[in-house]
Chain A
Amino acid sequence: MERLPEKKEISNYIIQSSEDEIKRIAFELHEGVGQTLYSVFTGMQLLEANMTDHESKHHVHEMNEILEKTIQEIRFLSVELHPPTLSSLGFLPALKSYLNLYKATYGILVEVEQVGQEILLPERHRIMLFRVCQEALGNIAKYADTHQVHIKLEWEKHGVAIVICDEGIGFDVEKNRHKPGLAVMYERMKLIGGNCVITSTLGKGTTIQLELPLQ
């Protein structure tokens, strides 16, 4: 008789296929639409430079400005969806490019402290860690009411530990652990053989500890 897939395998399969799709869209935005618009932009700039009629020149200039902002927004979108570096260079470069965007979008400063050198994790693990950090940072922007976040990454022989700390308003973890955002953070870490611990004190802030042992 054929073996039925375990629940864990199904969850992994569902996540993997949606991550593949997100990656495809992000890549298409960055390399496809983004590149094409950039070619149009450089062509239009040339056109603008060679124009003599004041009114038309002004008009083309305005269009170029809109184009430039659109190209920038497309790059940002692709970083939010799936940073191009996540699949190529690794977790930390991807996290850093996301953090730059995060700071510029929410006005929240993020301090990153790294101990040790990045160990190249399987892509699936990198993506899962990235999504968990993204959710934690999103929650901070939405609820923590603070302008500063501290992230510590510790790479060791036997694994990686990530701690995300905010000194915001804090919340009752017990009452919220089954809310989708937090529940998915726990579940994602479990699916890759890791662990997630969330602690929070009202008025003091929140700490999220992620651990991923290397197989």
Chain B
Amino acid sequence: MFDKTIHNAAIMDICIKTLHEVNCDFVGFAFQNQIGPDIKWHVVAGNQNEKYKHITLRYGKGIAGRVISTGSPMTIEDFPHDILGKALEYPIMLAEKLIYAYAVPIYLNGAPKGVFLIGQRLRKGLSEEEKKVIIIQARSIEDTIS
């Protein structure tokens, strides 16, 4: 289970490393709280404000909520033009003014319990190489918390 006091520093390193290695402006890690059903953004890098601290992810909604409920990666190419539903269903895109995002699930004991999200404020997109780097980083987050 993700424990802030133990895992924060290591995951922060991974986020910062991703911010430098991949062409992006924002990196965030959200995970289910130790107690109760809430999913929160626990570690972020490149953020423009502190809104993430107060956000509780909505299960099955938006990019992060959907990645956790489906357990599969998801891309938003051109927010808010290519989305399912309303812009208001994508709080982290709005809070950090992201146009492009790629998010992958974080598994724990075989179930998706968190999300690793990479965002851009100017749309440049990600190469297949960069997406591979992100998946590797997500695996190392899983190794850290398992």
Which A residues contact B (CB, under 8 angstroms)?
Answer: 58, 62, 65-66, 68-70, 72-73, 76, 103-109, 138, 141-142, 145, 147
Contact A106 to B58, CB < 8 A, known contacts A147-B49, A147-B50: no
**Contact of B37 with A69 in the complex, beta carbons under 8 Å:** yes
* Complex Cα–Cα for A68 and B35 (A): 12
A69-B39, A70-B59 are known contacts; what are 12 more A-B pairs with Cβ within 8 Å? A65-B32, A69-B59, A73-B59, A73-B61, A103-B54, A106-B51, A106-B55, A107-B52, A107-B91, A109-B54, A142-B88, A147-B50
**Contact of B91 with A76 in the complex, beta carbons under 8 Å:** no
Q: Inside 8 A of A65's CB, which chain B residues have their CB?
A: 32, 37, 111
Q: Which of B32, B51, B87, B111 makes the CB contact (< 8 A) with A107?
A: B51
**Contact of A142 with B61 in the complex, beta carbons under 8 Å:** no
* Complex Cα–Cα for A138 and B39 (A): 22
Please tell me the number of chain B residues within 8 Å of chain A, measured between CB atoms.
24
Contacts of B52-110 to chain A: CB distance below 8 A: 52-56, 58-61, 69, 87-88, 91, 94-95, 97, 109
**Contact of B88 with A138 in the complex, beta carbons under 8 Å:** yes
Which B residues contact A (CB, under 8 angstroms)?
Answer: 32, 37, 39, 49-56, 58-61, 69, 87-88, 91, 94-95, 97, 109, 111
Contact A73 to B52, CB < 8 A, known contacts A58-B109, A142-B87: no
Contact A107 to B59, CB < 8 A, known contacts A65-B37, A141-B91: no
* Complex Cα–Cα for A141 and B51 (A): 11
* Complex Cα–Cα for A17 and B35 (A): 42
Contact A73 to B58, CB < 8 A, known contacts A141-B91, A142-B87: yes
* Complex Cα–Cα for A68 and B33 (A): 13
Could you tell me the distance in whole angstroms from the C-beta of B80 to the nearest C-beta in chain A?
Answer: 8
* Complex Cα–Cα for A134 and B19 (A): 35
Residue of B nearest to A67 (CB): B37
* Complex Cα–Cα for A70 and B58 (A): 9
Q: Inside 8 A of B69's CB, which chain A residues have their CB?
A: 66
Q: Inside 8 A of A72's CB, which chain B residues have their CB?
A: 37, 59
Contact A106 to B59, CB < 8 A, known contacts A58-B109, A145-B97, A147-B50: no
Could you tell me the distance in whole angstroms from the C-beta of B107 to the nearest C-beta in chain A?
Answer: 11
